[in-house]
Amino acid sequence: MAEVRNVVQINRSMCIGDAACIDTCPQAALDLEEGIAKLIEPDRCDACGLCLDVCPTGAITLPLGRVVKQEASPAPESNPSSGSQAKPEVASAAPRPTETLDPRIAGYAGVWVYLEHDGPQIVRPSLELLSIARTLADTLHVPLSAILVTDDVAEMPATAAAYGADQIYVASDPRLAFYRTEAYARVVIDAIQAYKPEIVLVPATPDGRDLASAIATDLQTALTADCTELAVDLTKRQLLATRPAFGGNMMATIVAPHHRPQLATVRPGTFPLPEKTTDCPATILPLPVMLRPEDERQEILAIEPIEHGPSLQDAEIIVAGGRGMGSKEGFTLIEQLARLLGGMPAASRPCVEACWVPYTYQVGQTGQTVRPKVYIALGISGAVQHVVGMKNAECIIAINNDPRAPIFQVAHYGIVADAFELLPRWIKRLEAKSLVGEER
Amino acid sequence: MQIVVPIKQVPDTMVVRIDPETGTMVREGAPAITNPDDLHAVEAANQLKERYGGSITVLSMGPMQAEESLREALSLGADRAILLSGREFAGADTLATSYALSMAIRRIAEAAPVDLVICGRSALDGETGQVGPGLARRLQLTQLTYVKEILDVDQQARTITVIRETDRQRVTVRGRLPALLTVDHTSFPLHEAPLPEMIRAAKVPLEVWGGADVHADPQLLGLKGSPTVVHKSFAPPQPPGAQWLEGETDTLIEQLMELLAQKGVKIDG
């Protein structure tokens, strides 16, 4: 269908009920409800923007810009069933080769990031997505939008703007106080159907995966899980979503040639946080919250935060041990070195499975993905499952007694040595140095 | 209480090799195993059956070889086993998979309503965790993922109370039945199947259904019903390899200290 469901948004608090828009609308899509203008027939709105011109208070906006009708468009492949709706072009966006697109996917434009939040704070994995989403949006010449579903917006829209969002769709309702799949999914699905983004990125956190799967199923569209690289093919406007498969033994790039939006969840820690800016004029667009009875199937009885302590994801220096550390006791050396270097200790999966260290230490496919400045790997062989979680570190130093260990492939610097000989002396050296420092 | 547990047979990823030239998986020699998380889902169902009575149906989609996995699940306490098998199901992504499984569950529910569908968190090969939620949406089941504990099932009030554990919090939720759970494997440790159970499992007839048996629209099955397409697959790129630091232990330590200083690591002192 060659239709853009880009419809007007009315800011209820700014509307003075003068009805100028209602008189102007050629489609009779607007009416007054309780003295305030409302888009009563969203299907009829063709985003012509005439109501924006007559509104005395500027309460009406068109998030994707005005749709300019092409008079007697010669495009032969334009969908005959679209009737009165000529092939639209979003005025604010750069020209796009829409006529070459599959009619099933034409009309979808824009890149969205779902803002998962912990109370009044957007979680870091969502902010990270704004950096790659910016790149994708710039390549496609479309705006970068964020979508926030909450009961209390707090400072979150400003934060999203500071990290690069051009516009922020906001649904705020007391029933959205806590994440509940059905309620949150309804709001996001309604928004996607109304504004038709071509790409929606969701952090691959537990709740993010839960939500993305629900949305993709209802919209019968493509969802690629746990991506580690994202790019677009501009001519086809296709998202190239690359992810590890088979325990990280293989990488696969997934595309969705005939479906929109293209959904992807992205591993936390894969992309850096975007630069924070201060001059960030983002548009806030309120979303309606229309929950159905079947969206109220869960009741939250209690919430208890899990205290993680400092996160590996924020650590600049990580000292990680592997099976080669031999035991729980071996790990005390790892922990000492981490402390002396002002970093955090970490581990590969076998150490967690052997119960030497807690799961919070685990780096890799089934653990955390980290990108510190320095990653020191001791006694880690370098199984693919581990490497996918740390290969983005700026500087990797590997110490292992087996020169053929695969960890030396990904490391920038390698030392073939026995960790139990090197570590105690290194620790002693560092302790001596810090002692000198204290005396000074 | 009727519980359905969808399970998957997967290649053991610890053994899988990738041909670095072609970027494809070398399946030869890779043994097929029952997806570990799914066995924990069977265990969760079994615990509920012990507490509240009822029956467990295990359901899989795959080649006939997947019978092995269904038998394994039977020996862990399942009562009935159904295999969706046929060329029409091949090449399914998560959307097409949840469609096929949902149609099979609809057919199961024709005889007696299904109260719970319990899935493992994710499959070892794809690690998407998308099929469970897909089933919940298609069958309008309350979607409860990352379940750490099942506190209570109230069959009168038709509710289930669970603790979901995410990366940030433990959330106690009461959801309406029917519901779909994906369970945390650590909470439902496996037990050895006792010999009589293994003998019983071997005797349970396997039901094999095709697409037509579950009234599935062929356009929505398998490769045809899958919106995602693998554009390319490749072995992870090989970095150039490490620059070696050599020498006596003390020399190495000096080199390490210098390297860290270069990287801006401040060492007390």
Summarised one tens digit per residue, pLDDT across range B158-197 is 999 999 999 899 999 999 999 999 998 888 988 888 899 9
Res A3: pLDDT: 38
Q: Among A274, A268, A437, A246, which Cα is nearest to A369's? A: A268
Q: Among B127, B123, B241, B235, which Cα is nearest to A249's? A: B235
Secondary structure (3-state) at B42 = helix
Q: How far is CA A210 from CA A123, A129, A177, A252, in A?
A: 16, 17, 17, 22
Res A45: pLDDT: 84
- The predicted model gives A299-312 an average pLDDT of 88
Strands A88-90 and A67-69: antiparallel
Residue A309, pLDDT > 90, answer no
Residue A265, pLDDT > 70, answer yes
- Measured distance CA(A2)–CA(A135) in Å, rounded: 26
- Measured distance CA(A263)–CA(A164) in Å, rounded: 20
Which residues on B lie below 8 Å from A341 (Cβ)?
260, 265, 267
Secondary structure (3-state) at A424 = helix
Interchain contact, A301 vs B132, CB within 8 Å = no
Residue A367 banded pLDDT, cuts 50, 70, 90? confident
pLDDT over 90, % of chain A: 62
Distance from CA of B73 to the nearest CA of A (A): 23
Interface with B, mutate which of A121, A126, A226, A246 (most B CBs under 10 A): A246
**DSSP for residue A151:** S
Query: Who wins on pLDDT, B199 or A353?
Result: B199
- Buried b / exposed e along B87-107 (16+ C-beta atoms within 10 A): ebbeebbbbbbbbbbbbbbee
Which residues on B lie below 8 Å from A216 (Cβ)?
95, 130, 134
Q: What does pLDDT average to over chain B?
A: 91
Q: Give the lowest-confidence range in A103-112, B144-153, B217-226.
A: A103-112
- Measured distance CA(B141)–CA(B179) in Å, rounded: 4
Amino acid at B220: L
**DSSP for residue A82:** G
Instruction: Give me A325's structure tokens.
Output: 């550390």
Q: What is the pLDDT of residues B117-151, one digit of tens each?
A: 999 999 888 889 999 999 999 999 999 999 999 99
Residue B14, pLDDT > 70, answer no
- Measured distance CA(B28)–CA(A312) in Å, rounded: 38
Res A278: pLDDT: 84
By the 10 Å C-beta count (0-12 exposed, 13-18 middle, 19+ buried), A19 is classed as middle
- Measured distance CA(B269)–CA(B267) in Å, rounded: 6
* Cβ atoms of B256 and A427 closer than 8 Å: no
Res B17: pLDDT: 64
Q: What is the pLDDT of residues A26-40, one digit of tens each?
A: 888 898 888 888 898
Interchain contact, B133 vs A213, CB within 8 Å = yes
Beta-bridged to residue A399, according to DSSP, are A378, A415
- Measured distance CA(A323)–CA(B71) in Å, rounded: 35
Query: Who wins on pLDDT, A102 or B38?
Result: B38
Res A82: pLDDT: 38
Q: Give the lowest-confidence range in A37-51, A362-376, B107-121.
A: A37-51
Interface with A, mutate which of B228, B229, B263 (most A CBs under 10 A): B228
- Measured distance CA(A199)–CA(A187) in Å, rounded: 17
Instruction: Give me A115's structure tokens.
Output: 């803002």
Instruction: Give me B255's structure tokens.
Output: 């080199």
Residue A70 banded pLDDT, cuts 50, 70, 90? very low
Q: Give the lowest-confidence range in A42-56, A173-187, A204-218, B126-140.
A: A42-56
Q: Give the lowest-confidence range in A215-219, A227-231, A294-298, B263-267.
A: B263-267
Res A354: pLDDT: 87
Q: Among A98, A2, A81, which Cα is nearest to A46's? A: A2
Q: Among B92, B83, B176, B94, which Cα is nearest to B138's? A: B94
Query: Who wins on pLDDT, A221 or A16?
Result: A221
Chain A residues 107-126 within an 8 A CB cutoff of chain B: 118, 123
Distance from CA of A313 to the nearest CA of B (A): 13
Q: How far is CA A6 from CA A44, A49, A61, A218, in A?
A: 11, 11, 10, 20
B227 vs A256, A298, A302: nearest CB:
A256
* Cβ atoms of A309 and B180 closer than 8 Å: no
Helix B94-111 crosses helix B131-139 at what angle (to 10 degrees)?
50
Beta-bridged to residue A299, according to DSSP, are B174
- Strand positions, DSSP E, A96-228: 111-115, 117-118, 121-122, 144-150, 167-172, 199-203, 223-227
- The predicted model gives A149-161 an average pLDDT of 96
Secondary structure (3-state) at A388 = helix
B253 vs A123, A210, A426: nearest CB:
A426
Residue A88, pLDDT > 60, answer no
Res B135: pLDDT: 98
- Measured distance CA(A240)–CA(A269) in Å, rounded: 19
Residue B12, pLDDT > 80, answer no
- Phi, then psi, of A69 in degrees rounded to 5: -75, 135
Nearest-Å Rg of the Cα atoms of chain B is 23
- The predicted model gives A101-110 an average pLDDT of 80
Interchain contact, A225 vs B126, CB within 8 Å = yes
**DSSP for residue B220:** G
Residue A68 banded pLDDT, cuts 50, 70, 90? low
B171 vs A251, A300, A374: nearest CB:
A300
Residue A101 banded pLDDT, cuts 50, 70, 90? low
ipTM: 0.90
* Cβ atoms of A250 and A208 closer than 8 Å: no
Res A87: pLDDT: 36
Residue A81 banded pLDDT, cuts 50, 70, 90? very low
By the CB < 8 Å criterion, does A332 face chain B?
no
- The predicted model gives A282-309 an average pLDDT of 93
By the CB < 8 Å criterion, does B14 face chain A?
yes
- Phi, then psi, of B107 in degrees rounded to 5: -70, -40
By the CB < 8 Å criterion, does B259 face chain A?
yes
Res A289: pLDDT: 97
By the CB < 8 Å criterion, does A292 face chain B?
no
- The predicted model gives B235-261 an average pLDDT of 89
Q: What does pLDDT average to over chain A?
A: 87
Distance from CA of A126 to the nearest CA of B (A): 14
Residue B22 banded pLDDT, cuts 50, 70, 90? low
Helix A206-219 crosses helix A181-195 at what angle (to 10 degrees)?
50
Which residues on B lie below 8 Å from A222 (Cβ)?
93, 95, 227-228
- The predicted model gives B81-93 an average pLDDT of 94
- The predicted model gives A188-192 an average pLDDT of 98
**DSSP for residue A336:** H
Instruction: Give me A270's structure tokens.
Output: 């894969």
Residue A4, pLDDT > 60, answer no
Res A439: pLDDT: 45
- The predicted model gives A208-236 an average pLDDT of 96
- Measured distance CA(A173)–CA(A185) in Å, rounded: 14
Res B211: pLDDT: 97
Residue B48 banded pLDDT, cuts 50, 70, 90? very high
Interface with A, mutate which of B253, B262, B266 (most A CBs under 10 A): B253
Q: What is the pLDDT of residues A317-351, one digit of tens each?
A: 999 999 999 999 999 999 999 999 999 999 999 99
Res B26: pLDDT: 64
- Measured distance CA(A340)–CA(A333) in Å, rounded: 11
Chain B residues 18-47 within an 8 A CB cutoff of chain A: 18, 23, 25
Residue A95 banded pLDDT, cuts 50, 70, 90? very low
Interchain contact, B94 vs A223, CB within 8 Å = yes
B267 vs A206, A422, A430: nearest CB:
A430
By the CB < 8 Å criterion, does B236 face chain A?
yes
Strand order in the sheet with A167-172: A223-227, A262-266, A199-203, A111-115, A144-150, A167-172, A283-286
By the CB < 8 Å criterion, does B251 face chain A?
no
* Cβ partners under 8 Å of residue B83, min gap 6: B59, B60, B61, B62, B64, B66, B67, B70, B206, B207, B208, B209
Residue A136, pLDDT > 70, answer yes
Residue A415 banded pLDDT, cuts 50, 70, 90? very high
